[in-house]
């Protein structure tokens, strides 16, 4: 069995559509420059309210990725 080492980083995704879309946006953008992303954890959810309605979602996402051997 191979031993793995992981690193953690945090990114913030945003979306006018949903929390889910904000998370997916954060992961997709991070995956452009970070290899071996294996898990995520949504840490904080924030949003912007305009005229009494949610206008934008923002999610702090912790990413775990495997360090190359």
Please give the CATH superfamily to which domain 6-66 belongs.
Answer: Flavin-binding protein dodecin (3.30.1660.10)
Question: In the chain, where are the structural domains located?
Answer: 6-66
pLDDT value of position 65: 97
The model's confidence at residue 69, banded by pLDDT at 50, 70 and 90, is: confident
Q: What is the pLDDT of residues 2-56, one digit of tens each?
A: 788 999 999 999 999 999 999 999 999 999 999 999 999 999 999 999 999 999 9
The model's confidence at residue 66, banded by pLDDT at 50, 70 and 90, is: very high
Contacts within 8 Å (CB) and 24+ apart, 18-26: 18/57, 19/45, 19/57, 19/59, 21/57, 22/57, 22/58, 22/59, 23/59, 23/61, 26/59, 26/61
């Amino acid at each position: 069995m191979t031993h793995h080492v992981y690193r953690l980083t945090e990114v913030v995704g945003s979306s006018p559509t949903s929390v889910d879309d904000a998370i997916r946006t954060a992961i997709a953008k991070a995956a452009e420059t970070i290899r071996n992303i294996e898990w995520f954890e949504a840490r904080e959810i924030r949003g912007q309210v305009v005229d009494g309605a949610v206008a934008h979602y923002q999610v702090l996402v912790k990413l775990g990725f495997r360090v190359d051997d």
